[in-house]
Amino acid sequence: MRHTLSVLVENQPGVLTRVAGLFARRGYNIESLAVGETHDHSVSCMTIIAGGDDLVIEQVVKQLGKLIDVIEIKDISQVEYVDREMALIKVKAGPSVRSEIMQIVDVFRARIVDIGHETLIIKCTGDEGKIRAIEKSLRPFGILELVRTGEIAMVRGPKYGDA
Amino acid sequence: MKFTGAEIIIKAFEHEGVDVVFGYPGGQILPFYDKLYDSSIRHILVRHEQGAAHAAEGYARATGKPGVCIATSGPGATNLVTGIANAYMDSIPIIALTGQVPTSKIGSDAFQEADITGITLPIVKHSYLVRDVNTLAGIVRSAFHIATTGRPGPVLIDLPNNISTATAEFEYPPPVALRGYRLPGEIDPNLIYQAAKAIGEAKKPVIYSGGGVISSGASDELRELAERAQIPVTTTLLGKGAFPETHPLSLGMLGMHGTKYANYAISYSDLIIAIGARFDDRITGRLDTFAPHAKVIHIDIDPAEIGKNVRVHYPLNGDVKAVLKELLLRLEEPEDQEWLKQVKAWKAENPLTYTMIDGVIKPQYVVEQICDLTGGNGIVTTEVGQNQMWAAQYYRTLAPRTFISSGGLGTMGFGLPAAIGAQVGCPDKLVFDIAGDGSIQMNSQELATAVAYNLPIKVAILNNGYLGMVRQWQELMWNRRYSQTDLNVGTPDFVKLAEAYGALGLRATRPEEVRPVLEQAIATPKPVVIDFLVAREENVFPFVPPGEPLTKMVGG
Q: What is the DSSP string of B40-91?
A: SSEEEE-SSHHHHHHHHHHHHHHHSSPEEEEE-STHHHHHTHHHHHHHHHTT
Q: What pLDDT score was predicted for residue A48?
A: 95
Contact B285, B554 (CB under 8 A): no
Say if residue B464's pLDDT is above 50: yes
Segment B522-546 shows an average pLDDT of: 96
Q: Is B298 on the interface with A (CB under 8 A)?
A: no
Helices B320-329 and B219-229: crossing angle, nearest 10°? 30
Specify the pairing of strand A29-37 against strand A43-51.
Answer: antiparallel
Q: What percent of chain B has pLDDT over 70?
A: 100
Shortest CA gap B308–chain A (Å): 7
Segment A125-150 shows an average pLDDT of: 95
Long-range own/partner contacts, residues A30-34 (CB < 8 A, 24 or more apart): A31/A2, A32/A85, A32/A148, A32/A150, A32/A151, A33/A150, A34/A85, A34/A149, A34/A150, A34/A151, A34/A152
Q: What percent of chain B has pLDDT over 90?
A: 95
Q: Would you call B425 helix, strand, or coil by DSSP? A: helix
Q: What pLDDT score was predicted for residue A41?
A: 94
Contact B122 A58 (CB under 8 A): no
Q: How confident is the model at residue B176 (pLDDT cuts 50, 70, 90)?
A: confident
Q: Which residue of B has its CA nearest to A62?
A: B304
- What do you get for the CA distance between the two ends of chain B, in Å? 68
Contact B302 A66 (CB under 8 A): yes
Contact B122 A21 (CB under 8 A): yes
Q: Which residues contact B268 (CB under 8 A, 6 or more apart)?
A: B204, B293
Q: What pLDDT score was predicted for residue B460?
A: 98
Specify the pairing of strand B250-253 against strand B233-235.
Answer: parallel
Average pLDDT, chain A: 92
Q: Is A65 on the interface with B (CB under 8 A)?
A: yes
Q: How confident is the model at residue B405 (pLDDT cuts 50, 70, 90)?
A: very high
Helices B320-329 and B189-201: crossing angle, nearest 10°? 70
Segment B42-67 shows an average pLDDT of: 98
- What is the Cα–Cα distance from A33 to B232, expressed in whole angstroms? 49
Q: Is A139 on the interface with B (CB under 8 A)?
A: no
Q: What separation in angstroms does the CA of A34 have from each of A16, A84, A147, A149, A150?
A: 10, 11, 13, 7, 5
Q: Is A136 on the interface with B (CB under 8 A)?
A: no
CB < 8 Å to A58, chain B: 307
CB < 8 Å to A9, chain B: 180
Q: Is B182 on the interface with A (CB under 8 A)?
A: yes
Q: What pLDDT score was predicted for residue B174?
A: 85
Tell me the one-letter amino acid at A150. Answer: G
Contact B82, B49 (CB under 8 A): no
**Residue among A9, A17, A65 minimizing CB distance to B121:** A17
Segment B400-411 shows an average pLDDT of: 98
Of the candidates A88, A86, A89, A83, the one whose C-alpha atom is nearest the C-alpha of residue A149 is A86
State the best of A38, A62, A70, A73 to mutate against chain B, taking most chain B CBs within 10 Å. A62
Of the candidates B320, B316, B361, B389, the one whose C-alpha atom is nearest the C-alpha of residue B515 is B361
Burial class (CB within 10 angstroms; exposed 0-12, middle 13-18, buried 19+) of B509:
middle
Burial class (CB within 10 angstroms; exposed 0-12, middle 13-18, buried 19+) of B199:
buried
- What is the Cα–Cα distance from A68 to B311, expressed in whole angstroms? 27
Beta bridge partners of residue A51, listed in sequence order: A2, A29
Contact B87, B94 (CB under 8 A): yes
Specify the pairing of strand A2-10 against strand A43-51.
Answer: antiparallel
Domains (ranges, CATH) in chain A? 2-78 (3.30.70.260), 82-152 (3.30.70.1150)
- What is the Cα–Cα distance from B67 to B52, expressed in whole angstroms? 10
Shortest CA gap B235–chain A (Å): 26
Burial class (CB within 10 angstroms; exposed 0-12, middle 13-18, buried 19+) of B108:
exposed
Q: How confident is the model at residue A54 (pLDDT cuts 50, 70, 90)?
A: confident
Q: Which residue of A has its CA nearest to B150?
A: A66
DSSP state of B342: H
CA angle B550, B554, B556 (to 5 degrees): 110
Say if residue B32's pLDDT is above 80: yes
Q: Would you call B92 helix, strand, or coil by DSSP? A: coil
Say if residue A163's pLDDT is above 70: no
- What is the Cα–Cα distance from B391 to B468, expressed in whole angstroms? 14
Residue A75 has a CB neighbour count (10 Å cut-off) of 18
- What is the Cα–Cα distance from B331 to B324, expressed in whole angstroms? 10
CA angle B411, B417, B423 (to 5 degrees): 135
Q: Is B122 on the interface with A (CB under 8 A)?
A: yes
Shortest CA gap A152–chain B (Å): 21
DSSP state of B304: G
Residue A94 has a CB neighbour count (10 Å cut-off) of 12
Q: Which residue of A has its CA nearest to B155?
A: A68
Q: Is A27 on the interface with B (CB under 8 A)?
A: no
Contact A17 B126 (CB under 8 A): no
Shortest CA gap A69–chain B (Å): 5
Instruction: Tell me the per-residue pLDDT of B64-114, one tens digit each, with 9 for 90 and over.
Output: 999 999 999 999 999 999 999 999 999 999 999 999 999 999 999 999 999
Contact A68 B180 (CB under 8 A): yes
Of the candidates B304, B462, B309, B481, the one whose C-alpha atom is nearest the C-alpha of residue B395 is B462
Shortest CA gap B304–chain A (Å): 5
State the best of B142, B179, B183, B278 to mutate against chain A, taking most chain A CBs within 10 Å. B179
Secondary structure element (H or E) that encloses residue B317, with its range: strand B314-317
Q: How confident is the model at residue A160 (pLDDT cuts 50, 70, 90)?
A: low
Q: What separation in angstroms does the CA of B118 have from each of A12, B78, B81, B126, B127?
A: 15, 11, 11, 11, 9
Domains (ranges, CATH) in chain B? 2-169 (3.40.50.970), 189-349 (3.40.50.1220), 363-533 (3.40.50.970)
Contact B110, B101 (CB under 8 A): yes
Instruction: Tell me the per-residue pLDDT of B180-213, one tens digit each, with 9 for 90 and over.
Output: 998 998 899 999 999 999 999 999 999 999 999 9
Instruction: Tell me the per-residue pLDDT of B360-395, one tens digit each, with 9 for 90 and over.
Output: 999 999 999 999 999 989 999 999 999 999 999 999
CA angle B131, B40, B47 (to 5 degrees): 75
Q: Which residue of A has its CA nearest to B179?
A: A71
CB < 8 Å to B278, chain A: none
What's phi and psi for B290, nearest 5 deg? -75, 125
Say if residue A56's pLDDT is above 50: yes
DSSP for chain A, written as a single string: -EEEEEEEEE-STTHHHHHHHHHHHTT-EEEEEEEEE-SSTTEEEEEEEEE--HHHHHHHHHHHHHSTTEEEEEEGGGS-EEEEEEEEEEEE--TTTHHHHHHHHHHTT-EEEEE-SSEEEEEEEE-HHHHHHHHHHHGGG-EEEEEE---EEEESSSPTTT-
Helices B81-89 and B49-63: crossing angle, nearest 10°? 30
- What is the Cα–Cα distance from B422 to B408, expressed in whole angstroms? 19
Distance between alpha carbon B483 and the CA centroid of its chain, in Å?
Answer: 29
- What is the Cα–Cα distance from A108 to A112, expressed in whole angstroms? 11
Say if residue A162's pLDDT is above 70: no
**Residue among A18, A70, A71 minimizing CB distance to B121:** A18
Of the candidates B301, B206, B306, the one whose C-alpha atom is nearest the C-alpha of residue B252 is B206
Helix, strand, coil tally for chain B in percent (to 5)? 40, 20, 40
CA atoms within 13 A on the CB side of B385: 29
Q: Is A66 on the interface with B (CB under 8 A)?
A: yes
Say if residue B6's pLDDT is above 90: yes
**Residue among B129, B179, B304 minimizing CB distance to A63:** B304
Contact B415, B458 (CB under 8 A): no
